[in-house]
Amino acid sequence: MLSIQKVILLLDDFHFNEFKNHLKESNAELPYKLVTQIRKDEWAQLESDDLCKAVYGTKDEKSKKKFFQLVHYTFRLTSYLSRNYPSYLTHNISAIEKFINKGELQKANDVAEILLDIADKIEDFTTLNAVLKYYAQQAQITENKNASIKYHQRINEVLKSEHIINQMYLYMRENLNFKGKSVLSDAEMQEHLKFYDLYRNSKTLSIQFMSRFAYCQTLNYLNDARFYNDEILDELNRLTDDLEKNGFVVFSFSDDIQLNVDYLKLKHLIYKMNKDDLQKEATNLIKKREPLRFWKNYLNTPEIIYLSIQASYYLTHYNQGYKKDYYEHLPKEIKQQIEFYKKKCEEILEKPIWNEGLYVRYINLNSIYCGFLVLGPREDVKKSVEKLELLLVNFQQIAFQRLYDALFAILILGYFFLEDHENVQECYKRYEKLTATTSKNTENDLTIKSIYYASQWLNNGRKQYVEKFQGVLDKVRENDKLQHLQASLEDMASYLQLPIK
């Protein structure tokens, strides 16, 4: 029996209708036809040739080749169930128990046989563990000692896999959180990376994928320069492909690992692609992912990620509020796009979803919102700095050090665009004090320093600030990942007539 036949037989009515409707809404006509036929046949399943004929109307060699490609493709589409309903197989354990208690041993074993295969294939450890226990006890009752031992040994392997997955989650929660240390020694960093590397080559796909993601996320989260190496982008691309090919593998409910990998990839590409290609890639990566249903109940992280990427993009390419009549000369379509994202932020901020556990995310979204505001007309720039100042005051007891560099980059830009050089200086002093012991994003840090030096030169004309601005620009020029920042600083220096080399 084909894997897709086994899956369809194991689905209850709810999950089958969810899957069938998903195929219909996705215009997957042939997969829809295939699963409908399988469901119709129930346990009297057709052989492959006859099932091919039922779908294609013939079973010649050409049709059979297309049929098996369809079978493989349709099984991959069960990723919809794995991602939205990772426990979609578990009801079969209750079905087996009912059959046994009714004296229908063969029916129970028929379900158990295909359940064991599919649960193993999609790495549903909970269901796999339960069906192995069923077989182990059955072997014990029928005095098949060797089989019973074999099943218990397999249970140990499954429990070990579950333990490793939980250990990785625990390690990430303990070490990659906003309240944790933000500055690590090389030895500490290597300890983190070594932990995830232990499982990189695991034969269990969920463990392997989780470890590879966590490795990249560690470099990103702790602002390690190695995150932007080509090798990491290659790894993210491979991981994306592997997750796509094996989308039927289940992870913990409400863990959107594919989205998390997409985010890391987008963050990496911000520093490598031109603005048009980046916009296209961002749209493709974010919009091709149908949001998982659990997001209806929580702050929609996919939406926040998309807004964050867009804010970073527009701040990178349109942070020219120091120019006279900047906003008036901004292209109409850019104004409309910034206004659209600004309104999206406002809509989310007004939702009744914010509670005590979401302070850091609330601050983050407000920072994104202020990023769009600072690119607007003068009244929006004023609103941006006022809102950011309120955040710093109202949430000073909340640990959000990892957001400081992004928040202060927007704040100092706002004061600079308002030509408020006194507050630029004050803002810079606070930034240096608050981030003295934290890891900083290189681009944000160099942006803040360059704005401060340019502001001080405009304010007092001292040569030392031109020299310091020159020093920042030289550092930027040495980093081929900051070419967009180089272009921005050179354009600003030209417009402000800073006497740099």
State yes or no: pLDDT of 273 exceeds 90.
no
pLDDT at 353: 79
- With cut-offs at 50, 70 and 90, classify the pLDDT of residue 15: very high
Which of 188-192, 247-251, 297-301, 409-413 shows the lowest mean pLDDT across its residues?
297-301
Question: In this structure, what token pair is assigned to residue 421?
Answer: 């050089």
Of these ranges, 2-11, 259-268, 490-499, the one predicted with the greatest mean pLDDT is: 2-11
Q: Average of pLDDT values for 378-400? A: 90
pLDDT at 88: 97
Per-residue model confidence as pLDDT tens digits over 124-168:
999 999 999 999 999 999 999 999 999 999 999 999 999 999 999
State yes or no: pLDDT of 439 exceeds 80.
no
d(CA 475, CA 65): 58
d(CA 472, CA 479): 11
d(CA 16, CA 22): 10
Mean pLDDT across the chain: 89
Compare 154 and 398 and report the one with higher pLDDT.
Answer: 154
pLDDT at 291: 66
Q: What percent of the chain has pLDDT over 90?
A: 63
d(CA 91, CA 293): 20
Please, where are the H alpha helices in 123-185? Answer: 125-141, 145-175
- With cut-offs at 50, 70 and 90, classify the pLDDT of residue 283: low
* pTM, 2 dp: 0.72
pLDDT at 178: 47
Per-residue model confidence as pLDDT tens digits over 195-246:
988 999 999 999 999 999 999 988 888 778 888 888 999 999 999 999 999 9
Per-residue model confidence as pLDDT tens digits over 43-52:
999 999 999 9
Nearest C-alpha neighbor of 125 from the set 12, 200, 206: 206
Q: Do residues 62 and 48 lie in contact, with contact meaning Cβ atoms separated by under 8 Å?
A: no
Residue pointed to by tokens 């987008």: 266
Per-residue model confidence as pLDDT tens digits over 299-347:
777 678 778 888 888 888 888 999 988 999 999 999 998 999 999 899 8
pLDDT at 191: 84
State yes or no: pLDDT of 183 exceeds 60.
no
pLDDT at 271: 65
Long-range pairs of 77-81 with CB within 8 A, sequence gap ≥ 24: 77/22, 77/23, 77/28, 77/31, 78/4, 78/7, 78/19, 78/122, 78/247, 78/248, 79/247, 79/248, 80/18, 80/19, 80/22, 81/11, 81/15, 81/18, 81/19
Per-residue model confidence as pLDDT tens digits over 165-181:
999 999 888 877 644 44
Q: Average of pLDDT values for 93-110? A: 96
Long-range pairs of 125-134 with CB within 8 A, sequence gap ≥ 24: 125/158, 125/161, 125/162, 125/165, 126/87, 126/90, 127/87, 127/89, 127/90, 127/92, 127/93, 128/158, 129/155, 129/158, 129/159, 129/162, 130/90, 130/93, 131/92, 131/93, 131/96, 132/158, 134/93, 134/96
pLDDT at 286: 57
State yes or no: pLDDT of 360 exceeds 60.
yes
State yes or no: pLDDT of 285 exceeds 70.
no
